[in-house]
Amino acid sequence: MNRIDVRGLTKRYGPDTVVDDLSFTVEPGQVTGFLGPNGAGKSTTMRMIIGLVAPDRGSVTVAGQRYQDLPVPLVEVGALLDAGAVHGGRTAYHHLLALAVSNGIARTRVREVLARTGMESVAAKRAGSFSLGMRQRLGIAAALLGDPQILIFDEPVNGLDPEGIRWVRDLMRSLAAEGRAVLVSSHLMSEMAQTADHLIVIGRGRLIADTTMSELTRTSGVGTVLVRADDPDVLTLKLAAAGATVREGLESSLIVAGLTAHDIGKLAAYHGIALAELTPQRASLEDAFMELTRDSVEFSGVAA
């Protein structure tokens, strides 16, 4: 039961419904990307999951219980919501130790999470002197302290340098590989493409897509090749026999997935089929995301 279940979650601020009848599940053993443009309601949803904000309607359970009913929440679910929220006067070590002691978590966990987050060398430094990257690591260390099976990270790579981004990505993947349920928010599809197995996309508080990354890649045409051939039927058979997935495109073109343009060209030449066009499709996951959320972006720029 190491999952998050969100059912009909709704939150209003004044006249605005910022989370609107939202339902989704975060499963164990995978990274679930929580995507949406700025202001879509991601942080508010995450705050409702861990009981910091009360929903107006709907329910959410973590590990089968309401967050408020968990005996020691930190042991069930770890969250990084606001990396700035550390006691600046304490050292990293003492910040984590205070958290461990007040939650009945073994002191030995402090050293373990410092090691896992690469913070051993700065453990004795005051958190107030930390760079944003180090504060993020400390927030992640705190989330891992109770060795929880469910983890929630709100924009964990915001403000990090490329090395830091890479580190966070690898950590998310390894936490999921250990069987944990990992929910990570971002407003950038490019970040999710390399991290998430599953995607929950929201816009204006509403669910726009609940899909796997591989399904989105397939339906958005990423990695496909547009082919025009004199004999499309024969080519389709040959391509399918070579393991490709082929669907019909516009004006008797073929959209081929699973083979590169180079492979398709060689296959056609081998079978003596003349090609009139062979074009790798440029659509990216970023395009797919823009397309999905186009109607839900609050303020969009006007092209000059």
Ligand X SMILES: Nc1ncnc2c1ncn2[C@@H]1O[C@H](COP(=O)(O)OP(=O)(O)OP(=O)(O)O)[C@@H](O)[C@H]1O
Q: How far is the CB of 209 from ligand X (least distance, A)?
A: 15
d(CA 152, CA 81): 8
Build a one-symbol-per-residue string for 136-175: x at contacts with ligand X by CB under 6 A, - elsewhere. Answer: ----------------------------------------
The count of other CB atoms within 10 Å of the CB of residue 4 is 24
Build a one-symbol-per-residue string for 2-21: x at contacts with ligand X by CB under 6 A, - elsewhere. Answer: -----------x----x---
H helix or E strand, kind and range, residue 237: helix 232-241
Residue 158 phi, psi dihedral angles, 5° rounding: -55, 125
**Segment contacting ligand X by CB under 6 A, of 41-49, 75-83, 232-240, 277-285:** 41-49
- Per-residue exposure over 225-235, b if at least 16 CB sit within 10 Å of its own CB, e if not: bbbbbeebeeb
Q: How many helices (H) and strands (E) does the chain have?
A: 11, 13
Work out whether 39 is an interface residue with ligand X (CB under 6 A).
yes
Work out whether 40 is an interface residue with ligand X (CB under 6 A).
yes
Of the pair 40, 77, the CB lying nearest ligand X is at: 40
Among 36, 139, 146, 232, binds ligand X (CB under 6 A): 36
**Segment contacting ligand X by CB under 6 A, of 35-43, 83-91, 168-176, 217-225:** 35-43
Number of amino acids touching ligand X (CB under 6 A): 11
> Which residues, other chains included, contact 17 with Cβ-Cβ below 8 Å and sequence gap of 6+?
10, 11, 205
Of the pair 147, 286, the CB lying nearest ligand X is at: 286
DSSP conformation class of 126: B
